[in-house]
Amino acid sequence: MSKQGYHHGNLRQALVEAALRLIAAQGPTGFTLSEAAKDAGVTPAAVYRHFAGREDLIAECARQGFGIFADLLEHAWNGGAPSALAAFGAVGRAYLAFARRFPGHYMAMFESGIAASRSPDLADAAARAESAMLRATEALTRHLPENRRPPAAMVHAHIWAMSHGVVELYARAAPGSRAPYAPEDLLESGIGIYLRGLGILPADR
């Protein structure tokens, strides 16, 4: 490895990208700062110009991930077009697509133990992603009478948990290796059953 020390071009982002590769391969606690530095082609000492330690580096991976995640969810929601239900389904598929396409970010965000409250920037990015899902949930439940309308925050939390569960159990395995259905089909059917149980969807939808 050619040691580039402090003369690396965009060292901060190079370290983030190195960490993302390592997280995807070894998990968020399965690598050291020295390994990230080696992957980025710099000396270990150079890391500390930008990050206080490994958790600081992982937190930046999570912050960038939440930004991408929020963009994808907002794009999928598309203002609720062509209908709140169809757009809500697109948001669920976008959740799975993000976890599949950006595994390092996803693990930094949800499996590293790094709290969103660690920094204002991380908290803001996480809140934007959560807000995108909450707005979609509010639109989906808006047609119900107020006295029969479940709290949107509760519905949002349940569906987020269901989406995360599908990712953890099925979305990372080879198709058909753990379940005879695609992760997208599992999530869509699970959400449908849940929404019908709450009365948000009629029984025949």
Domains and CATH numbers, the chain: 1-51 (1.10.10.60), 57-198 (1.10.357.10)
Q: What is the pLDDT of residue 169?
A: 87
Mean pLDDT on 59-76: 97
Number of Cβ within 10 Å of residue 35's Cβ equals 17
- The two three-digit tokens of residue 118, written as one number: 């660690």
Distance CA 197, CA 155 (A): 11
113-153 confidence digits (pLDDT tens): 999 999 999 999 999 999 999 999 999 999 889 888 999 99
Q: Tell me if residue 32 falls in helix, strand or coil.
A: coil
pLDDT band at 200 (very low <50, low <70, confident <90, very high): confident
At residue 5, does pLDDT exceed 50?
no
Q: What is the pLDDT of residue 173?
A: 62
Q: What is the pLDDT of residue 202?
A: 75
Q: What is the pLDDT of residue 6?
A: 44
Q: What is the pLDDT of residue 39?
A: 94
Mean pLDDT on 96-108: 96
Which region, left, alpha or beta, applies to residue 27 given φ > 0 means left and ψ of -120 to 50 means alpha? left
- The two three-digit tokens of residue 80, written as one number: 């609720």
Could you please report the per-residue DSSP string of the chain? Answer: ----GGG-TTHHHHHHHHHHHHHHHH-TTS--HHHHHHHHTS-HHHHTTT-SSHHHHHHHHHHHHHHHHHHHHHHHHGGG-S-HHHHHHHHHHHHHHHHHH-HHHHHHHHSS---GGGSHHHHHHHHHHHHHHHHHHHHHHTTS-GGGPPPHHHHHHHHHHHHHHHIIIIITSPTTSS-SS-HHHHHHHHHHHHHHHHTSS-TT-
Distance CA 93, CA 133 (A): 12
Mean pLDDT on 100-115: 95
At residue 13, does pLDDT exceed 60?
yes
161-198 confidence digits (pLDDT tens): 999 999 988 877 655 566 678 899 999 999 999 999 98
Contact status, residue 129 vs residue 102, Cβ threshold 8 Å: no
At residue 93, does pLDDT exceed 50?
yes
